[in-house]
Amino acid sequence: GAKRLVPGDIRAAKGGTPIVMLTAYTTPIAKLVDQHCEMALVGDSVGMVLHGLPTTLGVTMEMMILHGQAVARGLKRAMMVIDMPFGSFEESPDQAFRNAARLMAETGAGAVKLEGGTHMAETIAFLTERGIPVMGHVGLTPQSVNTLGGYKVQGRGEDGDRVRADAISVAEAGAFSIVLEKVPDTLARAITKAVDVPTIGIGASADCDGQVLVVDDMLGLFADFRPKFVKRYAELSETAERAIATYAAEVRLRRFPATEHVFGDDSKAK
Q: What Å distances lie between residue 6 and 12, 186, 195, CA to CA? A: 10, 29, 20
216 forms part of the interface with ligand KIV (CB under 6 A): no
- Nearer residue to ligand KIV within complex by CB, 24 or 190: 24
Three-state SS for 162?
Answer: helix
- Nearer residue to ligand KIV within complex by CB, 45 or 205: 45
- Nearer residue to Na ion within complex by CB, 190 or 221: 221
209 forms part of the interface with ligand KIV (CB under 6 A): no
Residue of 10, 168, 214, 219 that binds ligand KIV (CB under 6 A): 214
Q: Say how far apart CA 257 and CA 249 lie, in whole Å.
A: 12
Q: Say how far apart CA 176 and CA 198 lie, in whole Å.
A: 7
**Interface stretch with ligand KIV, choices 39-47, 124-132, 145-153, 162-170 (CB under 6 A):** 39-47
Q: Say how far apart CA 125 and CA 174 lie, in whole Å.
A: 6
Q: Say how far apart CA 153 and CA 139 lie, in whole Å.
A: 8
**Residue 242: how many CA atoms within 13 Å on its side-chain side?**
4
Q: Say how far apart CA 264 and CA 270 lie, in whole Å.
A: 8
199 forms part of the interface with ligand KIV (CB under 6 A): no
Active site residues: 181
- Nearer residue to ligand KIV within complex by CB, 228 or 270: 228
The entry of Na ion, ligand KIV, none near residue 143 (CB within 5 to 8 angstroms by kind) is none
Q: Which residue in 244, 63, 227 sits closest to 152, CA to CA?
A: 227
**Interface stretch with Na ion, choices 20-28, 80-88, 170-178, 239-247 (CB under 5 A):** 80-88
DSSP for residue 2: P
Binding site for ligand KIV (CB under 6 A): 23, 41, 43-45, 83, 179, 181, 202, 212, 214
* Annotated binding residues for Mg(2+): 44, 83, 115
* Annotated binding residues: 44-45, 83, 113, 115
* Annotated binding residues for 3-methyl-2-oxobutanoate: 44-45, 83, 113
